[in-house]
Amino acid sequence: MIKNQNENMEKQPKDTEMIKVLVVDDHLLVRQGIMNLLKNETGIEVVAEAGDGETALKLAEKYNPNIVLMDLQMPGMDGLEATRKILLRHPKIKVIALTRYEKVFPDKFLQAGAAAFITKGCSVSEMLYAIRTVHEGNTYISPKIAQKMILSRSLFDRLSARELQVAIMIANGKKSMEIAEVLDLSPKTVNTYRYRVFDKLGVMTDVELAHLIVKHGLIENE
């Protein structure tokens, strides 16, 4: 059941159980900002923070949080892969995707097992609502993003979640060996994904792919 933000944005937890949260984002200021927002919130405790997917896996194992606030674009293991691996090992943990990317990724994160999707531009009350809603066993997508998912389809929706991961890593300059190591694939399999992506998106080279991904706002042109 997907909950609507407008039903009750200020709802409180059903009981006094403390909701343990792991904050994952590669930007220190973002992590600290989220932690400061949550530290005085009734019924919520930030138990750990991580700046990359690999560390998030270790801390999820150590602290067994109820909720993981998961960034998408991170060095090394990205948020999609970290989400998959955390949920494979700890299926009771709930992952909330918290990112500025809202054109393609909501459905990809949900396919990976995430319970909610909100953007970094959301209000504090929406973030708190999402945390409490998924802790109760429901799914949440902010209304703005849900509307976009219904009304528009992207060129990149042709890609599977794994193909999209590989495409973004290629666009970020990662080589086949690096991608294979992060995603636990063989270099041959990575190259198979590369050519599938080329075929589906109508590009011929890594450079063309990178230009297309930057053009659609999936990564920043630094």
Tens digits of residue pLDDT in 52-65: 999 999 999 999 99
List C-alpha distances in Å: 95 to 26, 37, 75, 117, 186. 16, 18, 19, 9, 27
Q: Domain 155-215, what architecture?
A: Orthogonal Bundle (1.10)
Give domain limits for the chain: 2-151, 155-215
| CATH 3.40.50.2300 holds for 2-151 | yes
Q: What is the pLDDT of residue 9?
A: 46
pLDDT digits (tens, 9 = 90+) for 97-139: 987 765 556 777 777 888 998 888 888 988 998 999 999 988 8
Considering only CA atoms, give the Rg of the chain. Answer: 17
